[in-house]
Chain A
């Protein structure tokens, strides 16, 4: 069972009052409790079950502009006392940093908590196993699926309390139900793997098992017997599961920490055209039941909705208290990063997009960590499907795609097929003129 708010509050009070007693001028504390249960199935047989119970506390103490933090999973009072002692001792000898402080009181969250982020549904292990078996059954009904890498179902419930010495104290429960199916296809000596994944706060919102299995099988079969193509300049279509990655890259490039240090290619680009005029990017924390929704960030600051890109122009950064002070801006509640980040729909249909050029390469998977936020260079391994005259023709693998994000962002065209499946969501994306490295 996850611990209730009263229990979390008791732990928070012990730490906050002890830190005050030992001389800290300010303190903030996060106490978390979570329980997760995961089931793994392989070839329709139970492969493993895992149950985890986690408790944790993170305490940050301040002495004026000095700061130090401790974290522990051992919540016995004697251990907590020892750790607070240690935190205070370290804090005293840590140099001052003029930007250290608790968040602005006026920005603390206060309001209704009506976003529906917790579903108390509990599935027995049997139910979880049955769900996944049904998904694998469906995948194996495709005769090119010969094996599975394992499929799984997870249920996670958590509760937390965030408090600070300025009087903030709040927390809430969240839930997450996750299922994935990863299968192996084989034909003519070629072996490929692919997957489908679904994760929602409410059990009723996840994909039905048959859908999960058939999509995974379809992905894996479509990759079979790939060709390697010649190096060339070609326009790419990014599948929705890849196009959303550009939003994550964008988010790290406009974090106030990167902006303050100058370690991003989007420094000094506020109020400038970063994307073409068709592009709008929003970050909304208040979508009911959505994966990225939250009431306040890890500092207790209320989430406001941000129109980050409007008609291609950069309107805002993602700001926390510490880095906000460095750039003379107030926090906008993004100490924990983005919430539900998404591109607004474009004006073309998927079918118009893939017919927009005679020859296009549809990217379904990228591999590697080839993004350089500092200068915008982008180079990753990839695989996908060649599109000729608007028709999917043959799979392609062992290629690289490269470009610079400054150009890529200007050359994006979006389809109108946005769905809210993850916390970061994008429609299908067309990017003109990227360099493919192949034969």
Chain B
């Protein structure tokens, strides 16, 4: 019945036996087996610079009792190796004993097709696509001096064996198309980066010459920045564009609402459930169930079906995002947020697609209402300090706003804010909710997982802008 152990020296019966025998005296745990194939092709400096194909197969064996987690992983799939792991887990937990919780929700959720995006497009046509992207981007203007384009596809098949022999599985495709353009004009250099992707075949994302739009967008951002002037420094009003700028939500409140930090009481939000943490009209969800999205999963990496979790409703903090361990210790249920980068990593509560729902204002109204501020359209990365609540993110496309009008583009600035207070500073919520184009990767404790974000345009009363112009 299992496919991942099919060609290995470990039979499913033997695996079952070792798993049950190890986990019977524990509160929770599972054997997680993962088979990942991935392919990256990069065009850089006019040449196909690299084509890498990776095939990774391994298991992670986890036993949990109380709040102690024992984990052992290996890429040698054999009875001997699994027994070694079992001994290792037992020796860590030797002084603890628990009662195995075999309850796990069932699902028939099919949010994406069981396809292999690496095989469904030929190497030849992938190379041709990259060459076309390179030529097209360079033909846009003689100021385009450098182009990097890349294609990433992955097929990750996972299987979870729980004590008692229950087997759960998920087959997850993922692709990403990236473009970076460097423009040089009048001695200045600027880049623009854009990408698209999700859990479908490349061709779904390439319909209607969509790859040209990816190139257009990267070029447009670079070309805008070449005209940019130094960014102002200090506190001011900020209008955020819809879509990808929702990484503000991800950093400002998302991480702070992950179950582990709140169970450990190290999050600035840990004692705020039921309290007002955002302006009225602000509703934020974490949704793992949107078809084909980068952050969507049929089941999480513990086997729990994903769901649409309401985090903040009309300004009030409702729920944290939970995996099984933190849910149990906080007397609640997993929300299907238990994720890991791979079999080499322990499960933690992680975001899926984190979205602020739309409101009633227009972007035009927001800009009109600002005397002096900035209009931030696109961002690079962000980061947060969970405990103090301080978060930052870096603008890759932003403009000044003067007397209700969008003015000149400004140089990449860092915005810094305070998570628990910044959402109370939201003055208007736009009617233009948009999801990001499918390129986000979230890092936590050294583990990267694909995520999505979304939001409407927002007007924030006060944020600190890190520019050079006083």
**A and B form one complex:** yes
4 smallest A-B Cβ distances: which pairs? A400-B466, A381-B392, A437-B233, A368-B392
Interface residues of B in 309-349 (CB under 8 A from A): 344, 346
Chain A residues near B81: list those with CB within 8 A.
53
Chain A residues near B191: list those with CB within 8 A.
263, 374
B44 touches A402 (CB 8 A): no
Q: Which residue of B lies closest to A436 (CB)?
A: B233
- 8 residue pairs of the A-B complex, CB under 8 angstroms, read A52-B74, A94-B127, A125-B92, A184-B387, A367-B390, A367-B391, A368-B383, A368-B392
CB distance from B184 to the nearest CB of A (A): 8
Chain A residues near B244: list those with CB within 8 A.
none
Chain B residues near A184: list those with CB within 8 A.
266, 387
A293 at the interface (CB under 8 A from B): no
Given B54, B74, B146, which contacts A263 in the complex, CB threshold below 8 Å?
A: B146
B344 touches A368 (CB 8 A): no
Given contacts A51-B71, A68-B51, A439-B234, contact A233 B470 (CB under 8 A): yes
CB distance from B92 to the nearest CB of A (A): 4
Given contacts A398-B418, A438-B234, A439-B234, contact A380 B392 (CB under 8 A): yes
9-residue interface stretch from B157-165, B167-175, B204-212, B406-414 = B406-414
Q: Give the interface size bracket for B toward A.
A: 35 or more
Beyond known contacts A51-B88, A73-B75, A368-B392: 18 more, CB 8 A cutoff: A45-B67, A45-B68, A53-B75, A69-B53, A72-B56, A79-B55, A83-B55, A90-B51, A149-B264, A184-B266, A193-B385, A223-B388, A231-B470, A233-B470, A263-B191, A367-B383, A368-B393, A368-B414
Proximity string of chain A (93-108) to chain B, C-beta cutoff 8 Å, 1 when within and 0 when not: 1110101000000000
Q: How far apart are the CA atoms of A90 and B54 in the complex, in Å? A: 13
Given contacts A374-B190, A374-B191, contact A48 B464 (CB under 8 A): no
A369 touches B381 (CB 8 A): yes
CB distance from B244 to the nearest CB of A (A): 15
CB distance from A325 to the nearest CB of B (A): 12
CB distance from A399 to the nearest CB of B (A): 7
Chain A residues near B383: list those with CB within 8 A.
367-369, 381
A402 touches B468 (CB 8 A): yes
CB distance from B422 to the nearest CB of A (A): 10
Chain A interfacial residues counted at CB < 8 A: 75
Chain A residues near B388: list those with CB within 8 A.
191-193, 223, 383, 397
Q: How far apart are the CA atoms of A374 and B188 in the complex, in Å? A: 9
B48 at the interface (CB under 8 A from A): yes
A50 touches B72 (CB 8 A): yes
A198 at the interface (CB under 8 A from B): no
Given B48, B70, B233, B235, which contacts A95 in the complex, CB threshold below 8 Å?
A: B48
Chain B residues near A125: list those with CB within 8 A.
91-92
A74 at the interface (CB under 8 A from B): yes
Given A52, A83, A192, A398, which contacts B344 in the complex, CB threshold below 8 Å?
A: A52
Given contacts A149-B264, A192-B387, A381-B392, contact A368 B68 (CB under 8 A): no
B54 touches A74 (CB 8 A): no
B237 at the interface (CB under 8 A from A): no
Q: How far apart are the CA atoms of A93 and B418 in the complex, in Å? A: 52
Q: Which residue of A lies closest to B63 (CB)?
A: A49
B466 touches A261 (CB 8 A): no
A165 at the interface (CB under 8 A from B): no
Q: How far apart are the CA atoms of A93 and B381 in the complex, in Å? A: 36
Given contacts A147-B265, A193-B386, A193-B388, contact A53 B55 (CB under 8 A): no
Q: How far apart are the CA atoms of A79 and B75 in the complex, in Å? A: 13
Given contacts A54-B344, A435-B468, contact A400 B233 (CB under 8 A): yes
A402 touches B467 (CB 8 A): yes
B73 at the interface (CB under 8 A from A): yes
B92 touches A398 (CB 8 A): no
Chain A residues near B74: list those with CB within 8 A.
52-54
Q: How far apart are the CA atoms of A54 and B58 in the complex, in Å? A: 9
Interface residues of A in 43-93 (CB under 8 A from B): 45-56, 67-74, 79, 83, 86-87, 90, 93
Given contacts A47-B68, A147-B265, contact A261 B387 (CB under 8 A): no
Given B68, B123, B231, which contacts A93 in the complex, CB threshold below 8 Å?
A: B123
Chain B residues near A381: list those with CB within 8 A.
383, 390-392, 414, 416, 466
CB distance from B348 to the nearest CB of A (A): 11
A379 touches B413 (CB 8 A): yes
Query: Which secondary structure dominates where chain A touches chain B?
Result: strand
Q: How far apart are the CA atoms of A17 and B459 in the complex, in Å? A: 63
A262 touches B234 (CB 8 A): no
Chain A residues near B413: list those with CB within 8 A.
370, 379, 400, 402
Given B51, B92, B344, which contacts A49 in the complex, CB threshold below 8 Å?
A: B92
A93 touches B414 (CB 8 A): no
Q: How far apart are the CA atoms of A383 and B146 in the complex, in Å? A: 36
B367 at the interface (CB under 8 A from A): no
Chain A residues near B466: list those with CB within 8 A.
370, 379-381, 399-402, 437
Chain A residues near B55: list those with CB within 8 A.
70-74, 79, 83
Q: How far apart are the CA atoms of A186 and B124 in the complex, in Å? A: 59
CB distance from B35 to the nearest CB of A (A): 9
Proximity string of chain B (356-390) to chain A, C-beta cutoff 8 Å, 1 when within and 0 when not: 00000000000000000000000011111111101
Chain B residues near A379: list those with CB within 8 A.
231, 394, 412-414, 466-468
Chain B residues near A67: list those with CB within 8 A.
50-51
Chain B residues near A90: list those with CB within 8 A.
51, 53, 123
Given contacts A261-B146, A379-B394, A381-B414, contact A48 B71 (CB under 8 A): yes
Chain A residues near B182: list those with CB within 8 A.
262-263, 374
B417 at the interface (CB under 8 A from A): yes
B427 at the interface (CB under 8 A from A): no
Proximity string of chain A (16-53) to chain B, C-beta cutoff 8 Å, 1 when within and 0 when not: 00000000000000000000000000100111111111
Given contacts A125-B92, A400-B465, contact A50 B346 (CB under 8 A): yes
Chain B residues near A401: list those with CB within 8 A.
466
A403 at the interface (CB under 8 A from B): yes
Q: How far apart are the CA atoms of A403 and B230 in the complex, in Å? A: 10
Proximity string of chain A (214-231) to chain B, C-beta cutoff 8 Å, 1 when within and 0 when not: 000000000100001001
A260 at the interface (CB under 8 A from B): yes
B53 touches A400 (CB 8 A): no
Q: How far apart are the CA atoms of A403 and B384 in the complex, in Å? A: 22
Q: How far apart are the CA atoms of A369 and B56 in the complex, in Å? A: 30
A417 at the interface (CB under 8 A from B): no
Chain A residues near B414: list those with CB within 8 A.
368, 370, 379-381, 400, 402, 437
B189 at the interface (CB under 8 A from A): yes
Given A74, A149, A397, which contacts B75 in the complex, CB threshold below 8 Å?
A: A74
A377 at the interface (CB under 8 A from B): yes
B394 touches A368 (CB 8 A): yes
B213 at the interface (CB under 8 A from A): no
Interface residues of B in 36-75 (CB under 8 A from A): 44-45, 47-58, 67-75
Given contacts A71-B54, A397-B390, contact A49 B385 (CB under 8 A): no
Chain A residues near B85: list those with CB within 8 A.
51
CB distance from B267 to the nearest CB of A (A): 9
Q: How far apart are the CA atoms of A375 and B386 in the complex, in Å? A: 31
A49 touches B71 (CB 8 A): yes
B268 at the interface (CB under 8 A from A): yes
Q: How far apart are the CA atoms of A288 and B417 in the complex, in Å? A: 44
Chain B residues near A232: list those with CB within 8 A.
470
Q: Which residue of B lies closest to A98 (CB)?
A: B47
Q: How far apart are the CA atoms of A424 and B182 in the complex, in Å? A: 29
Chain A residues near B57: list those with CB within 8 A.
73-74
Q: How far apart are the CA atoms of A262 and B45 in the complex, in Å? A: 10
